[in-house]
Structure 1
């Protein structure tokens, strides 16, 4: 069997030269102004590191080509050629390739956008149809942009699609590893090709790829069809190997929640002959958009059934959580005053002069700078910004000393971001030149350990600051904190808690100031408490009864909570409300009379009023459920019910 690291079979007892070894790790080494913090993963082509710009905390991904591949001129040149082609692919759903240059040990490195989030292969599948459509829609948006530039991915799989969040709290899909398939294909010898060896993730490779034929964008659409099938059913259509000639089972037969229309769309994407599939990513997207009960939008994560919350779950449109609403308000400029997100606004040392190569043909122009450390500074600039990771010339002057060198662009501050910060637009740069660092240290009066170095207190994380501010609004409401509906089932609660904790854990991996780290820990404990409150029937039933949430009480009863266990809670509940029981009984009696007289809608209203006063009366609740099911032909699990005296 071919090695999973380099796609080549090795003799028994020999190790793969491309497999990752902790001893060979580049962790702790520098790549220009960036520090390689940790290994994100190691694959067939290279090892990917999380790289950080220490003064600002800005993070990148750096892919280092495996040494055994870097030693092959054809592979090395193809690696750099693909990087040049991909720098022009700029799309919100593609993890950008920013630069390619020599890295530690002289190995070719790709500097890329760091896409934080969960890989599709780690999502708790199967997902609701609306979510499947939304995620595929964003991935297809990325493929449409790439195919328009003549770029074919060639290895779309559930492992190189990541689901994360953008700065506004919207869910954002990122497609990774464009160009990797072409580089690896260049590494195959003629003998390996003659033996039928191909590059890619076996479960996602299109039939024409297995046959060694020329492929186009329709191979990517096939692979995304496999991804959609997995998201919708929790299974791969053909297992982990080659397709063969068997047709995939219709998804709606494996998972009843899948609409037949969505099932037909996925099966067309999985057609063995390319001409029988969708002709383009746009056509695939349009077919998904026509599936009843779902709606797609590449920019907004909404479905016709509900709104996707901060932590990726669906809540009813009329029950959107305060946290979700607050995030929407912030995205549209309706945000209430909260903790400010500080922008670059610390004045430069008096007497420091700076000229940057930002003019035409890198002409040096004088700029206003701030947030100066011995490692770099923020430069105000209203014109076009040079690409991230680009090198620009700089001239520094202070008290008669002049230093000229190059600096790396490590961050952009756009006009929109500057407006939100009430600050200035521009760019952050960092130096590798010791002469520049010494001059800046002289201007700052810094001795010993440079300010802004790895041991300095990091700057507040803007994304986390927004999350903490919004979470504070709903901290005491476990439903709102988890983005759960009032009638959420217990499995759904557990999944939400797990997803939320994973999201918070990702923040915990960042360099955070002490105050934010403490606030993050408080939020984590609140999420765990919310999980305990809503995840155990006896704890939840009392919580929901006090808050008049009939749907939640119903869930607890459905979960097997017996009358004997509920009755002590009911007794305590009614003792605290001396007149409630008699009023509730009178209302229930009226409801029974109306039911006998076949005025069923009015009877339901009286029953709901009675249960608002005595929500732990399980016999009444079951009767109400049964009548509601018979008259309205809805699920036994209640949606929130509105009554004149309470809102459930």
Structure 2
């Protein structure tokens, strides 16, 4: 059965309108209920899987369990029954949005944490019902927008991994086949060990790392016990404490990760909460990060969300020669998604297993001792990180893999732990590099408190070496002006409420160029954070006002009829506006009936040629039901025919107010 043969077919009262994508389990279609235009997603089980009674039974039993999972961040499963040709079909909520793999990366830390915590809320709710995902990836996490225009993450494909796993034969299991997206499955899934909810914690750790750095922590899979680069090393905007949280989620052993999704989520929220700033500094955590304004992301109607297909992996499978495919999955040469770009970057890179020469001096005042043969030996340390350090060593080096006691002292506090010898720098290498001989020591099973303390020590030593710059006067004046328009994106851009979309985009681009000039200046940390927050607000204003659908939702709440008229004139389809209108009216019971009565009065007045009074009634009706596109068109046409007969209304309802200068100009 071809991927597109069901388009136009019926499934009960629904009609399959468009093919959305296909995965290892089935093909997904956009289905519509014609009388109302409501849209759903329908997953049709592949015929070769539907032919197996055990898979069909597992398909329906998983659907029965998932019907009880109702959460704002889960794409709801509504029903499961036979469809066209008798193939089992899963009726689901249609998550109209953009998959995480297609987002521009890296994201700002606050934005990445916001998206990740929403996904964790969904996983937390599922785990509470005993439902595991086990195939979370950047392709089945979708960023949508709710009826009020707020961003909302939706998690797709709960139950798919369980159904695919049930389809494996005993021979396939014996050969080591596993189900999952290679870059996101946990080490215990690769090795065939017992898997629980901590595998989902690991997968979301990979997602968070990707969002913050634009890179995958381990490439396509995972090699041994090597730790990935810390996110704040790859992206200086990431607070070290956030790096610590993500690396704990990525621990190779399940027992070293967060015990559940809730603990992971709380750790993320805590480390980004500005109210914990003083406590974090006292306990070796970094400064807080200011919250940025949400940035709405709009998906083009013709662009269906992509889904990374779960892949059956054999242990003997290797990356093919030539930059063509990854595990049989094609990588486009042009226009690749950020996830595919990250995969391609690591697919053919030779693994770098050796550490470079030690170069970075230890923080001034740090004293390190190692316990060797029952006694404590002071050593000169360098290249200190939350993972370990390099210890200069005279004489015979301790054997590789030896476990030594470690004592670190800094500013009156001493911590003890254990460390493993992971690499030697021999005398020959030391002479070549011009450094001391010694060994790299990695902390053995470090607790979060130790990593946080080391991160704090490194941050404190860096700050002590770098004096804080003086505040920039020009930026201070600009920030003060921008603060006056904090809640109004039109005022922030200096745009009229009826500005066309080209003007909105031009003003936003000019504002961003203006702010970009400050980023290269030496700024105190507080001003730099305020600058990044302001850039986020400008980006949010551009996204909110620069696209018809998002602007329509904003202008409806604001009562800006002239802005709504711009959205309609830009070609915004009625079927896209209707869900927004339904949500707007649902939140305001009785407003639709009152609006209809006012519009009827206006029509009667228009028939009597009392045009000024008619326009006033129409404006009152639209104030209650601003997203009624037919009314809005009629109102605008009548105003154009009766120039000079503008009724008395609030200023925001006038079509051409004077633009104020942007506070960023």
What TM-score, normalized by structure 1, do the two folds share?
A: 0.49
Report which structure shows greater RCO (CA 8 Å, sep ≥6): 2
Length-normalised TM-score, structure 2: 0.48
